[in-house]
Structures are given as structure tokens and as C-alpha cells.
Structure 1
């Protein structure tokens, strides 16, 4: 969801003081994940893994609050989206992710 120039994430860091976590294989640890879908076409998100997998399609402006038990932490899932679905990402569609964790 962020540009190659990284100005979005750098601006987010300056604004909030939040750190950026490595999302390449969803190595982030969180209690609750907040996902905001941007872009007019929508994107499929996958909750859980394996036989319990649930795919949902969301539209622009959708906000999802995802508990850690639904996010597939530590897996090869990116942003809660399986690689097959993530490859089909529509140009102009992006997501903003905010991870909340307990200290």
C-alpha cells in the first residue's frame, strides 16, 4: 500500500511515532490489527488459515478490526492476505495497517 519513495510511511512515522514492522511475511506481532481499504475496486482479505479460511471482499473506505487469532501471525500470509490473492492486487488499491499491541 505504500509508494516506492516511502514518503507515506515516513510521514506516518513523523506524525505518530509508530515504528514500521516487516510485513513481507507478516512477521508483525499485534493484539488487534486495524486495516483501512483505499481504492475504488476493493480487495479480498483472508481471515484464519487452512480449512477455516474465510475470504471477504471489501470496498473503498472499509475499516476492519482483526484480532490476532484471525490474522495468521508468523505465517507466509501478507497483511492477512494469502499470496495468491495478494498477487491479484488491483492497481490503485491500497491498504493502511495499524497494529495495536499490549506492553
Structure 2
């Protein structure tokens, strides 16, 4: 089993989860984070750290549509090991539904 980042992360990208990950399995896009399923050790420490409640175990029904997205983008985006600055409007986007179309395929830029 692994953990999966879901739609709630889009445009929020708080990155609290990155700080606690013991295996550095997070990868960053322009407005979304993903977890590499081959690197995740299923420890679960990231899940309660996410203010947007965007991280779920892959056994959760909400993970199904996002598991392949996490796997695909974790192979393309840069690895992130430290918490960065969340977008200025992250709180405004935190609980908004229907954000999938806003997912940018672009990698994170420092």
C-alpha cells in the first residue's frame, strides 16, 4: 500500500507533508504535489500533516482516480525534500471542489 495525493492539493500545495516524510517521496509540480508509489513506505505520517486533507491511502476510494497521476508525474517532476512557501491564495482554494482541470503539468520552479 502507498499514499496518494488527491485533488484537494491543487492550488493549495501547502507542503507540510514534505517536512515529515522519512523517505523523501514527494515530487512537485507547479500547483500540485505527488507521491512516488515506488518510494512510499506506507508510514502514513504525511496524511495528518496536510491542511487540505489531500493525502489518502491508496485503499481509499478517493485515491483511485489519482494513483496513476501520482505515479506518472513523480517520474517527471523534481523531488522535493523541504517545505516551500505555499501559494498566497492557498487558503482560498483549500476546500474548493472540482479543481482537477486546474492541475498544471508543469514542474515546480524554484
| TM-score > 0.5, shorter chain as reference | no
Higher Cα radius of gyration: 1
Bigger proportion of residues as strand: 1
More helix by share: 2
* TM, length-normalised to structure 2: 0.29
